[in-house]
Amino acid sequence: MRVGLFVPCYIDQMYPDVAVATLELLEGAGLKVEFPAAQTCCGQPMANTGCNDAARPLAARFLDLFDPFDYIVCPSGSCTSMVRNHFSDLVGNDPRLASIQSRTFEFCEFLHDVHPIDFSGHRFPFRVGLHQSCHGLRELRLGGDSEQMIERPDKVRSLLAQVQGLSFVELQRVDECCGFGGTFAVNERAVSVAMGEDRVQDHLEAGAEVMVASDMSCLMHLWGLISRQGSPLAVMHVAQVLAGRSPSVSVKNSIKPKAGNAL
């Protein structure tokens, strides 16, 4: 099985360890993984702001680069959804599109639906608050959402639930938006900050030590608020947890390790 690793631009530039952790897990599962070095942004920031003409060449480039792979895996629900649900607005009737969309998976979705990995031997002795991103829930259906009374498997939580020592805290508003929304955070700063502060407070009141999500874009926004508040809460991508990483050094002294903690 030949897998193309699709790394969002903000992970490539600001959170490369998330991409490295994803690569480690996929290769550890025996998959042949390739990172097409010529890949670029998927075009979502341009499309979100109505600049479709600027996003079209990026979508076409994605099709050129990733068409040869059996599967395309991305550690981001947001960018996966851009390919699967919105590229048709950019590349029209390109005959490759439908096939590529059917082969493009968000990282947790891929491990749940296509190539399961046993994480029962892993350990992460922390209380985790799971932040479910809007794109993951509402566009990829990685789990159930409160707008629809439909039972769905929670694909992100089911992976984390295998890890020894990891315990979930239960949030009051389990699927509330963090307020990031790409350029929404820039154009509507006050609303975005208020929504993010509510999201952080929900995790703190639930007793979370680490906020975990499958979208670093949400965590980037929330970590900015957390760091300004000086709150005792770490943030990690789900791939980092599953790959055996510990909470970042920047929050090392703000949480109390449990017995066996690697910190």
Which of 142, 202, 200 is closest to 171 using CA atoms?
A: 202
Tell which of 114, 138, 159 closes a domain: 114
Query: 78 lies in a domain?
Result: yes
Residues with pLDDT less than 70, the chain: 248-263
Can you name the residues that pair with 4 across neighbouring β-strands? Answer: 34, 72
Q: Which whole-number Å values give the CA distances from 1 to 33, 91, 117, 144, 153, in the listed order? A: 9, 27, 15, 30, 25
95 and 169 part of one domain: no
Is 120 among the domain residues? no
In a domain, 176, yes or no: yes
- Looking at residue 249, what is its pLDDT? 43
Question: Is 91:56 a contact under the CB 8 Å cutoff?
Answer: yes
Report the pLDDT value the prediction gives residue 9, as an integer from 0 to 100. Answer: 93
If asked whether residues 56 and 131 sit together in one domain, one would say no
The last residue of one of the domains, among 67, 82, 114, is: 114
Q: In this structure, is residue 257 part of a structural domain?
A: no
Question: Tokens 């990172």 identify what position?
Answer: 35
Q: Is residue 235 part of a domain?
A: yes
Domain end position, chosen among 114, 146, 170: 114
Q: What confidence score (pLDDT) does residue 25 get?
A: 97
Check whether residue 36 and residue 73 sit in a common domain. yes
In this predicted structure, what is the pLDDT of residue 181?
Answer: 85
* Same domain for 73 and 137: no
Q: What is the pLDDT of residue 150?
A: 83
CATH number of the domain enclosing 212: 3.40.50
In this structure, are 84 and 109 located in the same domain? yes
In this structure, are 15 and 108 located in the same domain? yes
90: in domain: yes
Number of domains in the chain: 2
Structure confidence by residue, pLDDT tens digits, 227-248: 999 988 999 999 999 999 999 6
Structural domain contains residue 61: yes
User: How far is it, in rounded angstroms, from Cα 113 to Cα 250?
Assistant: 34
Let me know whether 47 and 102 are in one domain.
yes
Give the structural domain span for 94.
Answer: 2-114
The answer to whether position 232 is within a domain reads yes
Residues 6+ apart with CB under 8 A from 51: none
Model pTM greater than 0.85? yes
- Regarding whether 232 and 139 lie in a shared domain, the answer is yes
